Amino acid sequence: MTGTVAMRLSAQPFFAVLTDSQRGALAEDGTEVTFAAGERLFDEGGVADMFWLIEQGGIALDMRVPGRGDQIVETLGPGTVLGWSWLHPPYRWHFGAVARLATTAIAFDAASVRRRCDADPAFGYAMLSAFTPVITERLQTTRIRLLDLYATPSQVRHAIGPVNA
């Protein structure tokens, strides 16, 4: 089982920054999982005891907004990682996640991976090196969306006030 997971990890560029042995160690905490379209992975506020590397399909991050229902804030596709909240206390999900499409992924035991990071700082640093670029990129794209570039001038005015003096 681990051998297969290790192979599948190697096929994904996300953990390319890890050495082969680091990837092998990480694979020990990984399990192959599948989700049917519409299946919920976790709720906002739940315990963040796992994270996933998405291989096929798509996941939608959502938040329940009173009056709006479940609002999708972002969708994630193959090759990226779902879940950062396991990296730091209080280890709670900030958003919910639901499979938008039938999805296959590798699920990782977050507590076990954290123990490995504590025991082996080099491994921990390599993990952060894999995660931080993605976090930065998502922050950047979120900021771009906040700019509301496709809005008309009057939509911009209502949202953020006068643009030019």
Partner 1 sequence: MHPSEDPARQPSGQAVIVDADGLPALFDALRGRGYTVVGPTVRDGAIVVAELASVAELPFGWGVETEAGRYRLRERSDTAAFGHSAGPQSWKSVLHPARARLWSADRVTGTVETSTVETSTVEGGEAAKPPRYALLGVRPCDVRAVGILDQVLTGGRHADPVYRGRRDGAFIVAVECTEPGATCFCTSMGCGPGVESGFDLAMTELTDAGDHRFVVRAGTAAGADVLADVPSRAADEATVRHAVTAVDEAAERMGRTMPVQGLPQLLADSRESPHWDDVASRCLTCGNCTMVCPTCFCTTTEDVTDLTGDHAERWRLWDSCFALDFSYLHGGSVRTSGQSRYRQWITHKLGTWHEQFGSSGCVGCGRCIAWCPTGIDITQEVSALASLQDVAAPDEDRP
Partner 2 sequence: MTGRRTASPALTEPAAGTAAVPRFYRVASRREDTADTVTLELTEPAQPVPAFAPGQFAMLTAFGIGEVPISVSGLGDNGGGRARRLEHTLRAVGAVTRALHAAPPGSLIGVRGPFGTSWDVASAAGRDIVIVAGGIGLAPLRPVMLTALADRSRYGRIVLLVGARTPGDLLYADELERWGCDGVEVAVIVDRADSGWNGEVGVVTTLIEPAGFAPDNSVAFVCGPDVMMRFTADALAARGIPVSRIRVSLERNMRCGVGWCGHCQFGPLLVCRDGPVVSYDRVAALMRVREL
Kindly tell me which of 21 and 164 has the beta carbon lying closer to partner 1.
164
DSSP per-residue letters across 76-123: E-TTSEE--GGGSTT-B-SSEEEESS-EEEEEEEHHHHHHHHHH-HHH
Q: Is 67 in the site for partner 2 (CB under 8 A)?
A: no
Name the residue with tokens 């990837």: 23
Residue 24 interacting partner from partner 2, partner 1, none (CB closer than 5 to 8 Å by kind): none
C-beta of 140 vs 155, nearer to partner 1:
155
What φ, ψ does residue 135 adopt, rounded to 5°?
-65, -45
Does position 102 interact with partner 2 (CB under 8 A)? The reply is: no
Return the residue of 4, 141, 158, 160 that touches partner 2, per CB under 8 A. Answer: 141
Residues 106, 30 contacting (CB under 8 angstroms): yes
* Closer CB to partner 2, 105 or 113, in the complex: 105
Least Å distance, CB 156 to partner 1, is: 6
- Read off the tokens for 8: 């599948």
